[in-house]
């Protein structure tokens, strides 16, 4: 089977085996020991010396945590968006009463740092910028480094959705001055769904002390107080914690640089392969993601039919387009537990199925 959607992603057998263990007391020593081992491993992969918390929720919970813990209603927020997940981040900030300015880019295009600069010049009292590191709906990786450096010139916090980027694409959190970064277990972490992982900088802690948005389940103060006792505030998804520790061991044993390089090679194989079939990419090669490739569907390709044949006859699972891109693109996920050989299998199946999924004139 080839589950090649941008999450959930396939899990290594050792990761799955870890989930079959008996439950433990989440207020006991065994859990505290595990959290004590797991957190430094996460910090290595996050490339941060700051705090990292594990929250039992999907990635969206991590995005919500980033906002409600650092901002107050009425705060000016610049929400950059180049797709579905950028819109989601903006929507969360709006829900909690931030004064959101959306800076929107066409589907398939990245966030333009110069436009970010102009937006800050127009509203220099902006408290935070929201950035999607890797926009999974369009297969775009944004230039977070440059965007963050501009935000810092204006003294704004940088809140990052790296749900489908972190652990697969280089994101040196401390070096780039990123204040809160959220990711999720079921993407590049090759772990089942259920956990969001989130980093918090010193600047974010200072903002947190004054931030007035309502929060409870996702409160960083609660997370920190319980972390000091080797616990999480609420009952954690214990089996997914077991799985995540094994997955982190696999990532660190392979080496972070090697993991990034493998993703780059898989992405390259996917991009070259679809181009060789005469297909085109939604994105410019300069911003094409190393975890998701978005392919333009030729006008006479029935994407749903293609997906159905791939699924039923080849056990290959690809994602369609979201929102306005439904029927217009399809997406190949290459994140987590993936090799170039997996991509070759997917491409071979695609080459057979595409001619069969064309709408006859
Ligand atoms: C998957 C994804 C999310 C949302 O994650 P959930 O775990 O479904 O809540 C957010 N942002 C990006 C970029 C994603 O790929």
Q: Which H, E and C letters describe 137-157, residue by residue?
A: CCCEECCHHHHHHHHHHCCCE
Ligand 1, atom 6: closest residue by C-alpha: 59
* Inter-helix orientation angle 256-276/340-353, to 10°: 20
Give strand pairing partners of 55: 196
Break the chain into its structural domains and give their ranges: 13-253, 256-357
User: What CATH class is the domain 13-253?
Assistant: alpha beta
CA dihedral 8, 147, 43, 224 (to 10 degrees): -90
Residue 109 predicted with pLDDT over 70: yes
Q: What is the 3-state secondary structure (H, E, C) of the chain?
A: CEEECCCCCCCCHHHHHHCCCCCCCCCCHHHHHHHHHHHHHHHHHHCCCCEEEEEECCHHHHHHHHHHCCCCCCCEEEEEECCHHHHHHHHHHHHCCCEEEEEECCCCCCCCHHHHHHHHHHCCCCCEEEEECEECCCCEECCHHHHHHHHHHCCCEEEEECCCCCCCCCCCCCCCCCCEEEEECCCCCCCCCCEEEEEECHHHHHHHHHCCCCCCCCCHHHHHHHHCCCCCCCCCCHHHHHHHHHHHHHHHHHCHHHHHHHHHHHHHHHHHHHHHCCCCECCCHHHECCCEEEEECCCCECHHHHHHHHHHHHCEEEEECCHHHCCCEEEEECCCCCCHHHHHHHHHHHHHHHHHHECCC
Cis check for the bond before 211: say yes or no (omega within 30 of 0).
no
Q: Is 164 in the pocket of ligand 1 (CB under 6 A)?
A: yes
Q: Over the stretch 302-351, which tens digit does the pLDDT of each residue have?
A: 999 999 999 999 999 999 999 899 999 999 999 999 999 999 999 999 99
CA–CA separation, 167 and 133 (whole Å) = 12
Ligand 1 center from residue 88 Cα (angstroms): 9
Mean pLDDT of 85-107: 98
pLDDT at position 185 is 98
Residue 138 Cα to ligand 1 middle (Å): 13
The model's pLDDT over 34-50, given as tens digits with 9 standing for 90+, comes to 999 999 999 999 999 99
236 has pLDDT over 70: yes
pLDDT at residue number 331: 98
- Averaged pLDDT for residues 232-247: 98
User: What are residue 157's phi and psi, to 5 degrees?
Assistant: -80, 150
> If we measure between CA atoms, which residue out of 174, 358, 172 comes closest to residue 278?
358
Torsion angle defined by CA atoms of residues 63, 162, 16 and 322, in that order, rounded to the nearest 10 degrees? 80
**Atom of ligand 1 at shortest range from CA of 184:** 7
The average pLDDT across 113-121 equals: 98
Strands 316-320 and 329-333: antiparallel
Q: Residues 6 or more apart from 168 whose CB is under 8 A from it?
A: 187, 188, 259, 260, 263, 290, 291, 335, 336
**Between 313 and 361, whose confidence is greater?**
313
Ligand 1 neighbour 60 (Cβ under 6 A): yes
Q: What's the pLDDT at 42?
A: 98
Reply yes or no on whether the pLDDT at 67 is more than 90.
Answer: yes
252-305 tens-digit pLDDT: 999 999 999 999 999 999 999 999 999 999 999 999 999 999 999 999 999 999
Predicted pLDDT of residue 301? 97
Q: Is pLDDT of 360 > 90?
A: no
Mean pLDDT of 16-28: 98
Beta bridge partner(s), residue 293:
332
Report pLDDT digits (tens) over 145-179.
Answer: 999 999 999 999 999 999 999 999 999 999 999 99
d(CA 330, CA 113): 27
Share of the chain above pLDDT 70, in %: 100
The pick from 5, 59, 334 for probing ligand 1's pocket by mutation, whose C-beta has the most ligand atoms within 8 angstroms, reads 59
CATH 3.90.1150.10 assigned to domain 256-357? The reply is: yes
Look at residue 361 in the predicted model and tell me its pLDDT: 63
pLDDT confidence of residue 15: 98
Task: Tell me the pLDDT of the chain averaged across its residues.
Answer: 98
- Closest atom, ligand 1, to C-alpha of 85: 11
Probe residue for ligand 1, chosen from 136, 144, 237 as the CB with the greatest number of ligand atoms within 8 Å: 136
């Amino acid at each position: 089977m080839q589950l090649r959607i941008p999450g959930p992603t396939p899990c290594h057998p050792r990761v799955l085996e870890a989930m079959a263990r008996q439950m433990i007391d989440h207020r006991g020593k065994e859990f505290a020991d595990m959290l004590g081992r797991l957190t430094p491993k996460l910090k290595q992969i996050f490339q941060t010396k700051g705090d990292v918390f594990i929250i039992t929720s999907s990635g969206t919970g991590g995005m919500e945590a980033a906002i409600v813990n650092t901002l107050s209603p009425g705060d000016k927020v610049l929400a950059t968006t180049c797709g579905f997940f950028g819109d989601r981040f903006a929507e969360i900030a709006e829900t909690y009463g931030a004064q959101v300015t959306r800076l929107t880019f066409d589907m398939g295009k990245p966030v333009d740092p110069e436009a970010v600069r102009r937006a800050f010049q127009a509203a220099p009292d902006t408290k935070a910028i929201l950035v999607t590191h890797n926009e999974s709906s369009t297969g775009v990786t944004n230039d977070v480094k440059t965007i963050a450096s501009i935000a810092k010139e204006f003294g704004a916090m940088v809140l990052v959705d790296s749900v489908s980027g972190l652990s697969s694409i280089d994101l040196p959190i401390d070096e780039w001055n990123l204040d809160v970064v959220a990711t999720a277990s079921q993407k590049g972490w090759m772990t089942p769904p259920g956990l969001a992982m989130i980093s918090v900088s010193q600047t974010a802690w200072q903002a947190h002390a004054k931030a007035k948005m309502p929060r409870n389940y996702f409160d960083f103060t609660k997370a920190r107080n319980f972390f000091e006792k080797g616990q999480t505030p609420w009952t954690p998804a214990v089996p997914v914690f077991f799985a995540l520790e094994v997955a982190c061991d696999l990532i660190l044993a392979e080496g972070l640089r090697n993991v990034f390089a493998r993703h780059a090679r898989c992405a390259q194989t996917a991009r070259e392969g679809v181009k060789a079939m005469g297909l085109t990419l939604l994105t410019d090669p300069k911003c094409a993601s190393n975890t998701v490739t978005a392919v333009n569907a030729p006008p006479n390709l029935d994407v749903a039919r293609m997906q159905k044949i791939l699924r039923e006859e080849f056990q290959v699972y690809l994602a369609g387009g979201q929102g306005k891109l439904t029927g217009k693109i399809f997406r190949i996920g290459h994140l987590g537990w993936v090799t170039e050989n997996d991509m070759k299998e997917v491409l071979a199946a695609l080459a057979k199925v595409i001619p069969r999924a064309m709408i006859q004139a």
